[in-house]
Amino acid sequence: MSSGFLRNRLYREAMKTRHNIQLFFGLLFLFLTVTIGTLKAEENKINVTEIIAEHLADSYEWHITKWGDKEISIHLPIIVKSRTSGWHVFSSSQVSHGATYKGFHIPHEGSHAGKLTEHNSTGEEVRPAIDISLTKNAVGLIMNCLLLLLIILPLARWYKRGEQQAPKGFKGAVELLITYVLDEIIKPCVGEEYRKYATFLLTVFFFIFISNLMGLMPFFPGGANITGNIAVTMFLALCTFVVVNISGTKEYWKEILWPDVPSWLKVPLPIMPLIELFGVFTKPFALMIRLFANIMAGHAVILGLVCVIFISVTMGAAINSGMSVVAVLFGIFMNFLELLVAFIQAYVFTLLSSVFINMARVKHHG
């Protein structure tokens, strides 16, 4: 079986799976929207949009649980440079629950909702000059990277010792997954030069996979919405963009800047070169949006299903019991589906990155 045929088959299967998942998400969102829209007519309702947005958004503290009336949270360090008073370092507990500390506070509404703000010389509420605080997503990102090292480095040391037998237990499972990604995605998609890019692609796959799984954990140290944050997916897509275009051959750039098409499509108006150049940027953009949207949608659906239980309280015990059962069953199903999506999204991102690298390694057709 040729590498091109296998690559195309892998791509078609991945796209078919993605389309099925998107269709399911769409239907489930339709069901959820109709349900919530009906329930919002009740007087004592909860703001589902606000609850979902609050759980998916980044924050300056890591909420653990609520014990009675006491909120149990990990308050993270805030590191900011004020526009008027220089650098400040303090705990986020100083500005929790609407408090103001040294002129800083966190508004709960408006354009800067959930972000640290201060007042400038004219009294206008603005963001600090520099904000490099360790937020929930930043700490989650660090922990996921450390977890990735803890998973991979023991296996690397095992190979470095020159063991003759295959690894067993957890190391064997990790080796099996590495071998699968290498043999079924990277080799057939990148081609004969796959070794040069295997380190980058394996790192991308395992980082996304681990971040997706950690995001599904409802308790600390999980729960951070890492791959559902567009800044993270943008950086991952940017890394692929840099690798692809640095790896591009002369033939690749020739096909972009001076494609083999009729001259009237290139001069006097460079129609085809502009289209080809536009495609250089749309590929990483598609990677960024695909990963971000799928992970964000999955988390939002699960949170919305949980909210249905509390919204239906005002509709009576019978309806609330029935809706609670439906919400719990759908929630369990969605969590299992998200485990599959966690792998599929890492698979698709790695697959497409490999295909883009292969497309950039165009050989001269002589």
Ordered by start, the domain boundaries in the chain are 3-52+136-360, 71-131
Q: How confident is the model at residue 41 (pLDDT cuts 50, 70, 90)?
A: very low
Instruction: Flag whether pLDDT at 108 surpasses 60.
Output: yes
Which residue do the tokens 């796209």 mark? 15
**Residue 28, both tokens:** 């489930």
Q: How confident is the model at residue 349 (pLDDT cuts 50, 70, 90)?
A: very high
As a whole number of Å, the CA-based R_g of the chain is 25
Which residue do the tokens 């308790």 mark? 219
Q: Is the CB of residue 144 less than 8 Å from the CB of residue 211?
A: yes
What's the whole-model pTM score?
0.81
Residue 127: strand, helix, or coil: coil
Taking the C-alpha atoms of residue 107 and residue 116, their distance in angstroms, rounded to an integer, is: 7
3-state secondary structure 19-35: HHHHHHHHHHHHHHHHH
Share of the chain above pLDDT 90, in %: 34
Q: Mean pLDDT lowest for which of 103-117, 229-243, 305-319?
A: 305-319
Instruction: Flag whether pLDDT at 239 surpasses 90.
Output: yes
pLDDT (mean) for 32-46: 49
User: At CA 204, angle to CA 200 and CA 209, rounded to 5?
Assistant: 150
Separation in Å, CA 18 to CA 12, 25, 309: 10, 10, 29
Share of the chain above pLDDT 70, in %: 85
The per-residue pLDDT of the chain, averaged, comes to 82
Higher-confidence residue of 352 and 25: namely: 352
pLDDT digit string (tens) for 137-163? Answer: 999 999 999 999 999 988 888 888 877
Residue 218: strand, helix, or coil: coil
pLDDT (mean) for 176-186: 92
Residue 73: strand, helix, or coil: strand
**Residue 157, both tokens:** 């040391």
Q: How confident is the model at residue 221 (pLDDT cuts 50, 70, 90)?
A: confident
Count the neighbouring beta carbons within 10 Å of the beta carbon of residue 20.
10
User: Which 8-state DSSP code applies to residue 76?
Assistant: P
